[in-house]
């Protein structure tokens, strides 16, 4: 996975909260954090996304909920991991950008 490409849809001053409640502020920090995991624990992984719901909160502001499934081929996190995340999207002169992102890992089956 390409960390710069992953971070590209985020606003320059976006906020990203990951599944461990770590808060990253700004597109460069989001790219850097993802670059580290793409090179290590998530190396070789693939992810699928599906929009669950979306609604306009105001003109040019939307709330979107997305389900994801991450498939990690090897290492300590090998296996499939499902998550749900919330995004606040803002319409700009360049199109829609992610202003805020909060990721929540689904519990393993049976938990």
How would you write the pLDDT of the chain (111 residues) with one tens digit per residue? 689 999 999 999 999 999 889 999 999 999 999 999 999 999 999 999 999 999 999 999 999 999 999 999 998 889 999 999 999 999 999 999 999 999 999 887 766
Instruction: Give me the pLDDT at residue 39, please.
Output: 92
d(CA 71, CA 24): 23
Q: Give the CATH architecture of domain 3-105.
A: Roll (3.10)
d(CA 45, CA 108): 18
Instruction: Give me the pLDDT at residue 108, please.
Output: 74
First-to-last alpha carbon distance for the chain, in angstroms, is 30
Domain ranges of the chain: 3-105
Instruction: Give me the pLDDT at residue 65, please.
Output: 98
Instruction: Give the CA-trace dihedral at 60, 18, 54, 46, to 10 degrees.
Output: 120
Looking from the CA of 95 toward its CB, the CA atoms found within 13 Å total: 3
Instruction: Give me the pLDDT at residue 111, please.
Output: 60
> Which pTM was predicted?
0.88
């Amino acid at each position: 996975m390409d960390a710069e490409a992953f971070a590209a849809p985020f606003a320059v001053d976006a906020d990203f909260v990951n599944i461990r409640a770590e808060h990253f502020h700004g597109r460069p920090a989001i790219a850097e954090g993802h670059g580290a995991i793409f090179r290590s624990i998530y190396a070789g992984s693939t992810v699928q996304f599906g929009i669950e719901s979306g609604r306009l909160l105001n003109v040019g502001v939307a709330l979107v909920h997305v389900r994801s499934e991450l498939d990690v081929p090897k290492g300590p996190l090998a296996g499939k991991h499902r998550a749900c995340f919330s995004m606040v999207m803002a319409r700009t002169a360049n199109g829609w950008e992610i202003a805020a992102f909060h990721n929540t890992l689904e519990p393993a089956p049976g938990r």
